[in-house]
Structures are given as C-alpha cells and as structure tokens.
C-alpha cells in the first residue's frame, strides 16, 4: 500500500511541506486518475470493502443503486451528471455479471468527479 500512496502523490509520512498536501485541483491529473483507478482496483477485493457493497446486487433499479453507491462512498452532493452516469453504468451491467457488480461499483463510484476534488 505504501507504494500506491506514493503514486497518488501522498507518500506516507513525507508531505511536500509542513502544510501537508494540497487540496482541490492539486490532485487532478492524468497520472493521479490512473493511480486512483489502480488503487481502487486493489481495494475492491478487500473483504471490508466487498461487504460494504454487498447488497447492491439485490437492488432492482438503477436509481436505488446510484443512491446506495453515493451513500456508501459518502459523496455529500452528487451532481446530476454523476447520478446519471452511475445509473447508466448500473443499467448496462445489472443482471449481466451480478457477481462483479459490487467489485466494480468500488471503482466506478470512486472515479466520480466528486471523489477527486472536495
């Protein structure tokens, strides 16, 4: 995990200055997005994360699934576009690979714009 944090620009115990790490757009780059996706990809197999998303496969509609992903990830105010994208992703994949829904929800939800810039 230490090397993954370094790729995200947050080397453990090595902030860039005494002020710590920057906020906002500081985190947005193609490299950090790629690193985040890789980090989320490794998290999706962790039992604790898997359990949090466990009941997604039981939901019957895309709107409920989007609401649940937003709730689990703690996104305080998801944009209309983010909600629509999550619903579209759910609709495209629900029923097709139910065993993978909870694994992939970690990545799809974690890559929303709201998760990149607070």
Domain housing 83: 28-116
pTM: 0.74
62 domain-assigned: yes
Residue-wise pLDDT for 50-66, tens only, equals: 788 878 878 888 999 99
92 domain-assigned: yes
With vertex at residue 104, the alpha carbon angle to CA 61 and CA 27, rounded to the nearest 5 degrees, is: 115
pLDDT-flagged residues of the chain (< 70): 1-9, 23-27, 96-99, 117-118
89 domain-assigned: yes
Q: How many domains does the chain have?
A: 1
Cα Rg of the chain (Å, integer)? 15
What's residue 16's pLDDT? 78
42 domain-assigned: yes
11 domain-assigned: no
26/89 Cα distance (integer angstroms): 28
């Amino acid at each position: 995990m230490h090397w993954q944090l370094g790729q995200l620009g947050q080397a453990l115990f090595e902030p860039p200055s005494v002020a710590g790490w920057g906020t906002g757009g500081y985190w947005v780059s193609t490299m950090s997005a790629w690193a985040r996706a890789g980090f989320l990809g490794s998290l999706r197999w962790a039992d604790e994360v898997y359990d949090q998303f466990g009941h997604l496969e039981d939901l019957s509609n895309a709107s409920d699934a989007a609401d649940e992903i937003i709730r689990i990830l703690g996104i305080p105010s998801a944009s209309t576009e983010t909600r629509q994208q999550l619903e579209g992703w759910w609709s495209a994949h629900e029923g097709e690979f139910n065993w993978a829904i909870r694994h992939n929800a970690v990545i799809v939800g974690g890559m929303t714009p709201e998760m990149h810039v607070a």
